[in-house]
Structure 1
Amino acid sequence: MKYKAVLFDIFGTLVVIEDMEAELDTWLGCFYDCMKPHGLDISRNSFNEFCLHHIGQEPPPPGNDDLTIFERRIQTAFSGAGLRVSTADIRQTSAMLLEVWNDYAVIDPDCHPLLQELSQQYRLGVISNYDHPPYIHRVLNDLDLKKYFNTIVISGDYEFKKPDPRIFHLALEELGLKPEDAVYLGDAEEDIIGARAAGIQPVLIQRETTAKPPDILKREYTRNDVVTINSLPELINSLD
């Protein structure tokens, strides 16, 4: 057997957002409604740009409140609007926003059969860029996926994220494996760049509904360097 482990991205790979545009609009509307009672003085039309700007800022350093990176980003948006809110308010707003995301997240119907089959021969793991680790664990539990994985590495628990190869090395260390022992399945440039930098064979999933290939495939790697599949079941053949 050529490989000993298969590592996965979560969102866009095993779990998909069916309508990202609708999800974002609903998410922004929810955030606006959460901030308005605290004195937000921005129109709904102006809020989208304001929100995306502040959410995209580097979050403040960790304090004594034990907020996740995602919650600190929410805190940054409140602060940017000149609003002072409690830690409890930050956590409540964050929870409501995560529920919006959850409403649009759908598991790929081929996910369980694939993981069930792979788990008979390979060690499996998750490497996810997500600023709120508890949510990833919740999703994996709710979808009954956690039982398949021998390691779960989430960027929100560390000071780095994909494409930094260190996050891939963490997963390998937990599995006791070398880079050449694993493949990594993802749907984004950060997955391809990071896996390759870590010495892991990258596999790109591009469903029919996915946009054109990431530019990284055109700039740095040939089609022979990056295995490309269009559906989860195709991953089996790429492991031979």
Structure 2
Amino acid sequence: MRESRPIIALDFPSLSDVKSFLARFPKKEQLYVKIGMELYYAVGPEVVRYVKGLGHSVFLDLKLHDIPNTVQSAMKVLAELEVDMTNVHAAGGVEMMKAAREGLGEGPRLIAVTQLTSTSEKQMQHFQNIQTSLEESVVHYAKKTAEAGLDGVVCSAQEVKLIKGAIASDFICLTPGIRPAGSAAGDQKRVMTPKDARQIGSDYIVVGRPITQADNPAEAYRTIFEQWQG
């Protein structure tokens, strides 16, 4: 189940930035990249088609959260882009997640966001008014995601063992907030190294600035790839 390639977060504002960045990798290197809101809203479907045209895999990270019918219709559109994985917010509910699965079809992976890795327990309790522990909230959302028939969740690496213990070992845990040892945490509250994420059982990891802002992105990627591989 574990994806051998770290997913690179293409957090850029334009297609030209993406082209310049990807050109710094060997042409034969087939990457797995994340296209998030900033880039997708700036460029649109064109960026997905461009990246797929180079032979790379795409995780389209749009975190859909709306009424079931709207999410289902949106997923039908995303399915036409032949993305490899996309996501919704688990907080949208089981019916919304089921509708998303129906709209996307059975080919691409479909996962749900539990709690953002930028969210602390204090923030969750005070702002969302969820009066449990952060871990309990994450596991609850993960169980509802499985109930809806999705493939897995986005979660912090610290929660992987709890989720897999509560659901199944083949339930996908994609973990953002991955930083090589010694890197700054940035705006992530719950972070982990590639080695630790592998040992704890993460299936996919997402790495952004340690690669995209490196002087030599291909070399930085290779280092993280090797740490992830062990």
TM-score grouping bracket, smaller chain normalisation: 0.3 to 0.5
| TM-score, normalising length: structure 1 | 0.32
| TM-score, normalising length: structure 2 | 0.33
| More RCO (CA 8 Å, sep 6+) | 1
Bigger radius of gyration among the two: 1
